[in-house]
Chain A
């Protein structure tokens, strides 16, 4: 792992001047991941905030080659790039060592893109797929996805007179991808930049598909001030809503254990999307969420012990 000073002197592949919102987690994550690359990379992105904000014709914020095809196919698109690379390398038309990285939101990964991602993992393309998980369809205006936590109010799971926001728990995508038994799977947070960059380095070294699920706080969708993104990510890590771990060649390892495990309320009360949970009879939703977080944390501890 390079020092922060060394990393800060590296030429960044995502330039400033893109049009992501102030406080967006996605650009922070992209920059941290790309700092881990020590070869040329090609980036693929699915339709979403990152894509629309970084490649508005006739401009591009990408210093490396970049392809956006559609919403549900970042994984199959990148597998096409990686296939072309192997074809041209075999024929001696390319000799440069290169890496291939996909960035996609939770909508494009957990939901509409899961088939393409699963297929690419099974086929074994050497590529890193990074999900920047902001826990809803933020680009279309905050609709619930299967990554949205229980109780969160979104525009398609609003809090109303009879419903307390989303009524289902979130899908555990990281574990689903780990079940593909690919060389490297990790969960990371931009608040632990050192952990994230190290994981991206290991992912890029893996001789096959690798996957990183990175929590990407969204000031607009989560309803918190834009200067609190990193705080919001770290609170999720500390409350064990977003545990940090990796699965290397099927070996599970916790990469960060919170010193204290504050109640999930600490994270919930900092965000407007959960404000309704602190009113009326909704306290039970917080208890349900806490129970689910505890259960999954215990399971993870068992897997990583």
Chain B
């Protein structure tokens, strides 16, 4: 049993980082992530961590230093948001393709323009193809827990990929919650010691990182990388189970909330999942057979598992907190519908865009989604495949 304490999501993330005590951290401040960096800087200043903290001049340099420090055989962490991660974009690919187990807290925020510091998932979605494992969190507890698990997932010999732990800006990062923390020794024992496969600093085995890789080998390297996400899926589940024995809190690729006897489902990620659970409870009280599928792992995307789970449903609403401009639907919807297409039996699917730039989503909004979903299921056809929640015309 851990310690109960009230703290903000960002403080919880910084606390997880303190307990992980990485060898190196390179980070740059950006709202709403800033508190993670400054809290950690205080830990460094007070000698509460052994970490070499590099206060870089940009996020691009933050990720570059992380890549190099990880290639030098150290355990490395960082944190960012929105435009900051957009500036890292080039190096995000390099981190993943070099198979470096970097762990990053991504405090989800809308991308410019216009500039907006509040939550949506457009930063994560812009990086969905970079090769990073992406875990989404519903609250501060999950952010804390997932950062600790992320170290094990990233460093697992069959994975060796960077992990970003995504949690909603302000809604989670600045909200005070009552959290259950593990003690330092438990965390250290759980994560163990980092054993790098190759290191620049191993002078008896000189190693060349980042070579020129042309048409004769690049494709094979990409294939190896593609095939790493299969084991990654298993490892996310395995580490989630191991974490449960330590904390009593189990994690997997997704959470199925009241889905067992449901015929209707709402699929979404992040803090709105909590709102959706409450909405579902209320709809259930009115006799609606509905549940929530809260996706945790967007990458690796659990296609087979979701197909198996969702194909029997009558109607499913997918709620996206990001857009893919010019596409027919939001990125989460596209993934879900593409996964379900492989099944002989498919639910009716509708897509909603919500919450861009921090726009609130209420319990009532999601209740309305449920009511409409019921009508869709009854009529047997989708009248409006794409709609918005809470936006003026």
List residues of A whose CB falls within 8 A of some B CB: 40, 42, 44, 51-52, 55-58, 60, 62-70, 72-73, 75-81, 83-88, 90-91, 94, 96, 98, 115-116, 118-120, 122-123
Bound-state Cα–Cα, A58 to B211, Å: 8
Chain A CB within 8 A of B85 CB: no
Chain A residue with minimal CB distance to B68? A80
Chain A CB within 8 A of B54 CB: yes
B91 touches A80 (CB 8 A): no
Bound-state Cα–Cα, A98 to B73, Å: 15
B213 touches A57 (CB 8 A): yes
Residues in B176-203 with C-beta less than 8 Å from chain A = 200-203
B74 touches A84 (CB 8 A): yes
A44 touches B217 (CB 8 A): no
Q: What are the 8 closest A-B residue pairs judged by CB atoms, nearest first? A: A80-B68, A119-B57, A84-B72, A80-B65, A76-B61, A68-B210, A73-B64, A76-B64
A96 touches B203 (CB 8 A): yes
Write out the residue numbers on chain B whose beta carbons fall within 8 Å of the beta carbon of A60: 208, 211
Bound-state Cα–Cα, A83 to B66, Å: 10
Chain A CB within 8 A of B24 CB: yes
Tell whether A67 pairs with B201 under 8 Å between CB atoms, given A87-B52, A91-B50. Answer: no
Tell whether A84 pairs with B69 under 8 Å between CB atoms, given A42-B201, A62-B208, A69-B91. Answer: yes
Chain A CB within 8 A of B207 CB: yes
Chain A CB within 8 A of B130 CB: no
Q: How far is the CB of B224 from chain A (nearest CB, A)?
A: 13
Chain A CB within 8 A of B233 CB: no
Q: Contact partner of A65 among B57, B74, B94, B200, CB < 8 A?
A: B200
A98 touches B56 (CB 8 A): no
A56 touches B211 (CB 8 A): yes
Q: How far is the CB of B135 from chain A (nearest CB, A)?
A: 24
Q: How far is the CB of B86 from chain A (nearest CB, A)?
A: 15
Chain A CB within 8 A of B285 CB: no
Chain A CB within 8 A of B116 CB: no
Chain A residue with minimal CB distance to B65? A80
B200 touches A81 (CB 8 A): yes
Q: How far is the CB of A17 from chain B (nearest CB, A)?
A: 14
Write out the residue numbers on chain B whose beta carbons fall within 8 Å of the beta carbon of A123: 54-56
Write out the residue numbers on chain A whose beta carbons fall within 8 Å of the beta carbon of B62: 76
Bound-state Cα–Cα, A87 to B202, Å: 14
B66 touches A80 (CB 8 A): yes
Query: Contact flags (1/0) for B63-79 with A, using CB distance below 8 Å?
Result: 01111111111100000
Q: Contact partner of A72 among B60, B200, B206, CB < 8 A?
A: B60
Q: Which of A69, A70, A120 has the most CB of B within 10 A?
A: A69
Q: Contact partner of A44 among B26, B57, B68, CB < 8 A?
A: B68
Bound-state Cα–Cα, A128 to B90, Å: 25
Bound-state Cα–Cα, A57 to B209, Å: 10
A91 touches B60 (CB 8 A): no
Bound-state Cα–Cα, A75 to B54, Å: 13
A52 touches B203 (CB 8 A): no
Write out the residue numbers on chain A whose beta carbons fall within 8 Å of the beta carbon of B74: 83-84, 87-88
Chain A CB within 8 A of B141 CB: no
Write out the residue numbers on chain A whose beta carbons fall within 8 Å of the beta carbon of B58: 115-116, 119
Chain A CB within 8 A of B51 CB: yes
Write out the residue numbers on chain A whose beta carbons fall within 8 Å of the beta carbon of B68: 44, 67, 69, 76-81, 84
Q: Contact partner of A67 among B51, B91, B200, CB < 8 A?
A: B200
